[in-house]
Chain A
Amino acid sequence: MTAATAIAPAISAKSAQMRQRRERRRRVRKALRSAAIILFLVWIVAPFYFLLLVSFQSKADSLSTPPNWFPIPDFSNYARILGRALTNAPISGPPDLILPGIVNSAIVATITGLLNVVFGSLAGYAFARLRFPGSRRLPSVLLASQMVPAFALLVPYYVVLRRLGLTNTLTGVIIAELSITLPFTIWLLRGYFLGIPIALERAARVDGCSRIQTIYKVVLPLARPGLIAVSLFAFMVAWNDFLFAIVLNSRTDSMLIQPAIAGLYNVREQSFGIMAAGSLLAAIPTMLLVLFLQRFLVRGILSGATKG
């Protein structure tokens, strides 16, 4: 009896010690993890900050070494890029092409994104649910087509579009961007549709939907995250594309954003500030789009559809 009561405090003291040690180890691990995340963040954010920094500096400041980390904001670069839009003056140099480039690229990328959803969902659905010659093999061919480097297709595209009279038009670029993005989109959406329980489609058909009604009343609403993902993907590809944009479309009045930015590097009065400001302006639309659409990219939309 007395022996037992003597042992008990000793045990509890020991366990308290162990608990303390465990607590300390947990705190160290947490600190290490936080440090790693912060490092990673710096690695990602630093270039952006540098870009922002340079874009708000006068030409002289932007060339100084070491860089001035906290300068007094200077808006001359932005004024140079945005100025023409306000005054409606004639185009006098590459900086004037940034704004029209953003507008042109927005048109191309938006249409590419939307058409990816339209064609991609119909074709993806067909590959997922219908049986026809090639319905099994073609999806892997679609994926394999992604391995062909884009520059290998450049000359054929140029020749074909030129014959059709579509070089130097936005339509021509849209056609080219579609043919790069659609195979992947179809392949991805096919996988997405395969994940939607077929019983739901059968229920819809019995409930009075024709095949096409089944697709847009039941399948597409459930595939929304997938549709948003592919439209974002296609938008980004079209927005960020430089190669096709410059080869298929080199006229200044229909110039797209990436060639327009590249054009800044050729300015005689070469200015890092203007380049940085142009690049930042070009990044804003895609950033806004992702911020706006990411809340629709919710997962778990299918939970509760079927049991077992």
Chain B
Amino acid sequence: METLTKSDFNIDRSTGDFRYDVDYAFDAGTGLTEKTIDFICDVKKDPDWVRAFRKEALRKFESMPMPTHWASHDLENIVFDNIRYYLSQGTEPKRSWDDVPEDVKRTFERLGIPEQERKFLAGVEAQFDSEAAYSNIKAAVGEQGVIFVGSAEGLREHPEIFRKWFGKVIPTGDNKFSALNSAVFSGGSFIYVPPGVKVKHPLQAYFRINAENFGQFERTLIIVDEGAELTYMEGCTAPKFETATLHSAVVELVALKGAKIQYITVQNWSANVFNLVTKRGLAHEEAEVKWIDCNIGSRLTMKYPGVVMKGRKARGEVISIALAGDGQHQDTGAKMVHAADDTTSNIVSKSISVGSGRSTYRGLVQIGRHLKGCKNNTECDALLINTQSRTDTYPAITVRGKENACQHEASVSKISAEQIFYMQQRGISKGAAMSLAVNGFVNDLVQQFPMEYSVELKRLIDMEMEGSVG
């Protein structure tokens, strides 16, 4: 049978692959030392406790080994000394697009962010390299008491909420990259939703890397108070550079009693970005944390969104779609820690590997011996497109106690040349047929997305698949 060749899947990342020159007022230079941290603290006017927190984190980062005993050796190709850890035009985001400097504004306009904001969002934060260039929330949402600001403003203006939860869901030393983020974090969102407030439209953050040899380290902390609800979405792109770029975020979510948080990511980094992100939510009694995580771009992504269910009847969910094109490695998964009775979790993971692309699923499910009435369901399906593709599944399930239930299903399938032939016989081109089959594979998950994002995801998949099919 004819094999589908590499050239059929050349990837078109044209949407994010452009770059305008920008003047930076603040540049920490390359390399990471205590001096870098002092530079960042001085520019950001951090309080002393933050300076101490950062320096402690730097020590942890330096003392922790690269996790290559289990993770990809590609991590060794990150040269920390060559990276610029802070670049910005200033620390204060603008409240109006009219005030955003022209050189930055045209980037976001080209990415369609102001337009999306007008159409369907309750608020937007647009981060350009190290700092948000724009941050605004619709008046009606602000009047309900919802706080949506950058992390720096959050820790400065709302210390009573910020300090209570900052670094509590994901401790500095959780892993080497959470320590790195804790040392040099800049940008990201701080959100607080007061009790009972259900934010109708999503809040969105858009992360843009514009500079070469750069590391983006945003820090997001979201607290949704009792009975409140929030949907947060993030998107990200970068132009394609010859050299490696690093993105290492930490995202902490706290859902208090009966609260609901839905966190949606559509990651479309260019293929030179190392995307090493730690994301975890804490779900109190009857609260729900749901991660919807789509990884389409990057060179290597390592990301395992987690939920710690610490209150009775809490619920955690991870819905994830990963697409590993030629030369990419999507190492993704989920962590579900059941820490109270009657907690339930659900993991559905679908990965697509194309060409020499590689997908890895790592899952961790823990249900303690003393608990009862806990349930986990895990499904992971992999789709392979051509024989070079590789997929691995590493589930780690620890279920103790007699009154708990866990169910795990995994499948690997291929798009066969016979399927492509069948679709082609109906007049559909080879590229469109691939695209149709891949969209079919993820169809049941995509239906759970907000409309605007499912359209975006379909468009990205179409672009990946159509590429340069001749």
**A and B assemble together:** no
